[in-house]
A and B are shown apart, each in its own frame.
Chain A
């Protein structure tokens, strides 16, 4: 028996040694010969590589790299600049636009990229109402009179033209999928026209892209881009610190503040692209009426005066955001009006109380809560908190406190986003805080608050966007005007008028413009571009110009293609040996008693 035990121990030790040597050797081989790689960490998955289906920000970033668009957007201010099209001209009525493609355009598989591909994409997207295309191509018909010319005809006055920022797809790949099949296609194809094209997708883990040698601006200097998905934001930041990744998107605020203090080889930035959060009050035009006091604009204005946006930004967001004025309808802040001091509803509890007193909302029974004019129903409002937003409950704590100070009570109830969408659609609410992220063109955001978007269908209450349930005929008429105004300056003036009017209604109290928290290593690559200039993010921006512009800093090494643990082979070997030793000790302890017994 003793002999058998010794043999077992020897076998375990030998096995551990063999594995240890193999592991060390194999991991040593891994360290050499890696291409120049940019590794970007994020917490979101690529839901689909198919631009007719996917919706996540991660997917848009991928498409920005894989597929070029007819017109590109300037990094500075989103102005239309040449993309696949080198130039364009308009007909006198500006309904027909003729684009001239660059010469010798090619797909990454070497096939020529022609006007046929452009016309195919635009026409098919319009006919089949592709999800991410329809708002751009809904009224546009494309023709391809010759391989380098695309003619777009719009059936309406479309102020968005000449911008045509939809991803042009290779006809020779996508025409294999009919209307039914295209929605089920995962979009995993290596054929693209952008700076990088897909190499590999490992769902839930990473997706890698290789530099496209056929890219019209020339092959990018970084050979490879890797997107790594993390579920744990702190682990993601740790990977950045250790140099396993080069940049991170959506940094948790606590980690961001720590990184900000450290400086050194990591640069942090708060990228703003127009995202905002608002405190919404039910304007009463929907399927159900809110508390009657909210139908009185004076009450809404008093409530707006009772909200201290600076405190919310500083205490809830830890300073990572900017107090808001009007809603932001575009990623480009140039669309927003400047409010005059007498138009603003700044934080002032005394003014709020005074407005309510003058309007006749007084606390007649001395319980601290005001009643409707002439007594009767107290001002007790329903406040919906979003369970899926970590900021929702703390924001509610502040706001309900201020409302209490001015004599308005609240009853809080927590909802999932899916539930709250339904509740809002039915008009069955008084107050909530939620947010929006606008497109570059202001039209979609402006459309959400028209009368047409107020839910009037009890069977499908969620088919509408107007979550303020606010209907203003002047605003809605202005919306139609801006929708066909082709003079950019005049259109801007209309949009600003609409935004001011919406602000003055006090149905929406914009709280803050939110920031996309990003960080990147500044010791490896240079050439990061913010979009828009100075305030925007460097990655996950509207057209993602950074990637093709990055170049390595001399003598810096790449992240190692996605973050392995340096020298961990030896450690694993030690781990395996430790397991073997532990097992051996346990066996020895078991045998020791029997040995004593035998002696």
Chain B
């Protein structure tokens, strides 16, 4: 991979990031309104208190002044203070990133592994009962909205059967340490994680299946078999690695959505991550929090796209030659 290729990709990503930073500011100000008046309606504030809050929220200057202030702050990695909690947005986001990374990270890993395995089995045993069963199952989970699937699982396993807690990340009686705490969190993680795993598994399985079917028509597989290689070796050494290429790209790009991908599921299961924070911030509206969250989400997608580009180029020399 040439330095020029890498530099070009990195510069492109940085330009996109800068555009996103600017766009974020204006996106949440398209709709006119006064957050101070809205948040403090009926609080019987004096004019001086309102003006103090307006200043505290950084809404006292013109839009241009506010924009410049925002750029300066962001350049120093200061994302401002949340309107609702009055705490630094960066700290709020850092606190909530852990639960989201745990939830979406684990579910992405599970959906990837099982999705690829199901896809390989379905393709390799195409037009058998196993293929039909796998395809039907993955089509069903793929087409099911995650919030709906989440509600179904919640009502079945948490409400009707009572096997799992109905929401949250830990029991309030948990002492916050030891194996008991890990188990407690695992209990809370199970249903949201299952929802996301099932919701994303189908996509990986279907892409893997289709990619492997394409690869299976290649001449080099016929040649490999003609050379007397066993079927499993043909599949594992020649077919699957080549068929994995689009799946790898899909995984790399999807990882960018790890941080933002679970708004609905986190809300349903009251999982205190970035998705739930977004939902709450929209209800405010808590502009600094929304700006910060969207910046983090966008940056994650941009970085992962860059990673996917570079990885694809590394795996497939035709891309970097083009």
Chain A residues in the interface with B (C-beta under 8 A): 1, 22-23, 26-27, 29-30, 34, 37, 39, 45, 47-48, 50, 53, 55, 129, 131, 134-135, 183-184, 186, 200, 202-206, 208, 226, 228-232, 235-236, 238-239, 241-242, 244, 388, 416-422, 425, 436-437, 439, 444, 447-448, 460, 462-463, 465, 560-569, 571-572, 575, 579, 582-583, 586-587, 589-591, 593-594, 596-598
Name the contact of B232 in the complex, choosing from A29, A200, A422, A591 (C-beta under 8 A).
Answer: A591
Given A129-B48, A422-B37, A593-B124, is A206 in contact with B168 using a C-beta cutoff of 8 Å? yes
Interface: B44 (CB within 8 A):
yes
Q: Hey, which chain A residues are within 8 Å of B163, CB to CB? A: 565, 567-568, 571
Q: Hey, which chain A residues are within 8 Å of B114, CB to CB? A: 582-583, 586
Question: What CA separation (Å) do A568 and B81 show in the bound complex?
Answer: 39
| Min distance, Cβ A575 to any Cβ of chain B, angstroms | 6
Question: What CA separation (Å) do A34 and B171 show in the bound complex?
Answer: 12
Given A129-B48, A232-B167, A238-B158, is A205 in contact with B272 using a C-beta cutoff of 8 Å? yes
The answer to whether B268 and A131 have CB atoms under 8 Å apart is: no
Interface: B227 (CB within 8 A):
no
| Min distance, Cβ A52 to any Cβ of chain B, angstroms | 10
| Min distance, Cβ B19 to any Cβ of chain A, angstroms | 26
Q: Which of B70-78, B277-285, B306-314 contacts A (4 or more CB under 8 A)?
A: B277-285
Q: Hey, which chain A residues are within 8 Å of B167, CB to CB? A: 230-232, 235, 239
| Min distance, Cβ A115 to any Cβ of chain B, angstroms | 28
Name the contact of B38 in the complex, choosing from A236, A421, A579 (C-beta under 8 A).
Answer: A421
Given A26-B180, A134-B49, A597-B230, is A444 in contact with B168 using a C-beta cutoff of 8 Å? no
The answer to whether B172 and A419 have CB atoms under 8 Å apart is: no
The answer to whether B33 and A419 have CB atoms under 8 Å apart is: yes
| Min distance, Cβ B29 to any Cβ of chain A, angstroms | 11
Question: What CA separation (Å) do A202 and B186 show in the bound complex?
Answer: 17
Interface: B42 (CB within 8 A):
yes
| Min distance, Cβ B234 to any Cβ of chain A, angstroms | 9
The answer to whether A593 and B232 have CB atoms under 8 Å apart is: yes
The answer to whether A34 and B173 have CB atoms under 8 Å apart is: yes
Q: Hey, which chain A residues are within 8 Å of B36, CB to CB? A: 462
The answer to whether B44 and A447 have CB atoms under 8 Å apart is: yes
Given A238-B159, A566-B162, is A560 in contact with B173 using a C-beta cutoff of 8 Å? yes
Question: What CA separation (Å) do A183 and B276 show in the bound complex?
Answer: 25
The answer to whether A565 and B124 have CB atoms under 8 Å apart is: no
Given A418-B31, A572-B186, is A231 in contact with B231 using a C-beta cutoff of 8 Å? no
Q: Hey, which chain A residues are within 8 Å of B154, CB to CB? A: 232, 235, 238
The answer to whether A418 and B33 have CB atoms under 8 Å apart is: yes
Q: Which of B6-14, B83-91, B245-253, B297-305 contacts A (4 or more CB under 8 A)?
A: B83-91
- Known A560-B171, A587-B117; further 5 A-B contacts with Cβ < 8 A: A48-B86, A203-B85, A568-B163, A568-B190, A594-B231
Question: What CA separation (Å) do A214 and B303 show in the bound complex?
Answer: 55
Interface: B39 (CB within 8 A):
yes
The answer to whether A462 and B34 have CB atoms under 8 Å apart is: yes
| Min distance, Cβ A571 to any Cβ of chain B, angstroms | 4
| Min distance, Cβ A560 to any Cβ of chain B, angstroms | 7
The residues in B between 240 and 274 inclusive whose CB is less than 8 angstroms from any CB of A are 267-270, 272
Question: What CA separation (Å) do A48 and B86 show in the bound complex?
Answer: 8
The residues in B between 171 and 189 inclusive whose CB is less than 8 angstroms from any CB of A are 171-174, 176, 179-180, 182-184, 186-187
The answer to whether B49 and A204 have CB atoms under 8 Å apart is: no
**Chain A residue at minimal CB-CB distance from B110:** A579
The answer to whether B184 and A30 have CB atoms under 8 Å apart is: yes
Question: What CA separation (Å) do A589 and B158 show in the bound complex?
Answer: 33
**Chain A residue at minimal CB-CB distance from B120:** A590
Q: Hey, which chain A residues are within 8 Å of B269, CB to CB? A: 232, 235
Q: Hey, which chain B residues are within 8 Å of A22, CB to CB? A: 179, 183
Question: What CA separation (Å) do A238 and B233 show in the bound complex?
Answer: 52
Interface: B46 (CB within 8 A):
yes
9 residue pairs of the A-B complex, CB under 8 angstroms, read: A27-B183, A34-B173, A184-B86, A228-B168, A228-B172, A562-B172, A568-B163, A589-B130, A590-B120
Those 4 A-B pairs whose CB atoms lie nearest each other, nearest first: A594-B232, A561-B173, A418-B33, A562-B172
Question: What CA separation (Å) do A437 and B41 show in the bound complex?
Answer: 10
Q: Hey, which chain B residues are within 8 Å of A572, CB to CB? A: 183, 186-187, 190
Name the contact of A421 in the complex, choosing from B37, B158, B180 (C-beta under 8 A).
Answer: B37
The answer to whether B37 and A45 have CB atoms under 8 Å apart is: no
Q: Hey, which chain A residues are within 8 Å of B171, CB to CB? A: 30, 560-564
Given A238-B159, A564-B184, A572-B187, is A421 in contact with B117 using a C-beta cutoff of 8 Å? no
The answer to whether B86 and A205 have CB atoms under 8 Å apart is: no
Q: Please, what's the 1-or-0 string for B52-73, where 1 marks a CB less than 8 Å from any CB in chain A?
A: 1000100000000000000000
Q: Hey, which chain A residues are within 8 Å of B276, CB to CB? A: 204, 231
Given A239-B166, A565-B158, A586-B118, is A55 in contact with B85 using a C-beta cutoff of 8 Å? no
Given A232-B270, A565-B165, is A26 in contact with B159 using a C-beta cutoff of 8 Å? no
The answer to whether A598 and B121 have CB atoms under 8 Å apart is: no
Name the contact of A29 in the complex, choosing from B33, B81, B180 (C-beta under 8 A).
Answer: B180
Total A-B Cβ pairs within 8 A: 248
Number of residues of chain B lying within 8 A (CB) of chain A: 85
Interface: B164 (CB within 8 A):
yes
Question: What CA separation (Å) do A579 and B194 show in the bound complex?
Answer: 11
Q: Hey, which chain A residues are within 8 Å of B321, CB to CB? A: none
Name the contact of A129 in the complex, choosing from B49, B179, B184 (C-beta under 8 A).
Answer: B49
Q: Please, what's the 1-or-0 string for B113-144, where 1 marks a CB less than 8 Å from any CB in chain A?
A: 11001101100110000100000000000000
The answer to whether B39 and A55 have CB atoms under 8 Å apart is: yes
The answer to whether B35 and A206 have CB atoms under 8 Å apart is: no
Q: Hey, which chain B residues are within 8 Å of A561, CB to CB? A: 171-173
Q: Hey, which chain A residues are within 8 Å of B155, CB to CB? A: 238
| Min distance, Cβ A423 to any Cβ of chain B, angstroms | 9
Question: What CA separation (Å) do A26 and B171 show in the bound complex?
Answer: 14
The answer to whether A444 and B285 have CB atoms under 8 Å apart is: no
Question: What CA separation (Å) do A460 and B36 show in the bound complex?
Answer: 11
| Min distance, Cβ B235 to any Cβ of chain A, angstroms | 8
| Min distance, Cβ A364 to any Cβ of chain B, angstroms | 38
The answer to whether B172 and A206 have CB atoms under 8 Å apart is: yes
| Min distance, Cβ A481 to any Cβ of chain B, angstroms | 19
Most buried by B among A26, A34, A447, A569: A26
The answer to whether B232 and A27 have CB atoms under 8 Å apart is: no
**Chain A residue at minimal CB-CB distance from B44:** A444
**Chain A residue at minimal CB-CB distance from B193:** A575
Name the contact of A583 in the complex, choosing from B96, B117, B183 (C-beta under 8 A).
Answer: B117
Q: Hey, which chain B residues are within 8 Å of A34, CB to CB? A: 173
Q: Hey, which chain A residues are within 8 Å of B85, CB to CB? A: 47-48, 186, 203
Interface: B15 (CB within 8 A):
no
Question: What CA separation (Å) do A24 and B48 show in the bound complex?
Answer: 59
Q: Hey, which chain A residues are within 8 Å of B285, CB to CB? A: 416, 418
Question: What CA separation (Å) do A22 and B113 show in the bound complex?
Answer: 25
Given A30-B180, A422-B37, is A564 in contact with B118 using a C-beta cutoff of 8 Å? no
Name the contact of A45 in the complex, choosing from B50, B124, B280 (C-beta under 8 A).
Answer: B280
Interface: B43 (CB within 8 A):
yes
Interface: B47 (CB within 8 A):
yes
The answer to whether A235 and B96 have CB atoms under 8 Å apart is: no
The answer to whether A586 and B117 have CB atoms under 8 Å apart is: yes
| Min distance, Cβ B282 to any Cβ of chain A, angstroms | 10
| Min distance, Cβ A424 to any Cβ of chain B, angstroms | 9
**Chain B residue at minimal CB-CB distance from A138:** B46
The answer to whether A226 and B172 have CB atoms under 8 Å apart is: yes
Question: What CA separation (Å) do A500 and B262 show in the bound complex?
Answer: 52
Interface: B95 (CB within 8 A):
yes
The answer to whether A589 and B121 have CB atoms under 8 Å apart is: yes
Name the contact of B268 in the complex, choosing from A129, A232, A388 (C-beta under 8 A).
Answer: A232
Question: What CA separation (Å) do A597 and B229 show in the bound complex?
Answer: 10
The answer to whether A232 and B267 have CB atoms under 8 Å apart is: yes
Name the contact of B44 in the complex, choosing from A135, A186, A416, A597 (C-beta under 8 A).
Answer: A135
Q: Hey, which chain B residues are within 8 Å of A244, CB to CB? A: 165-166
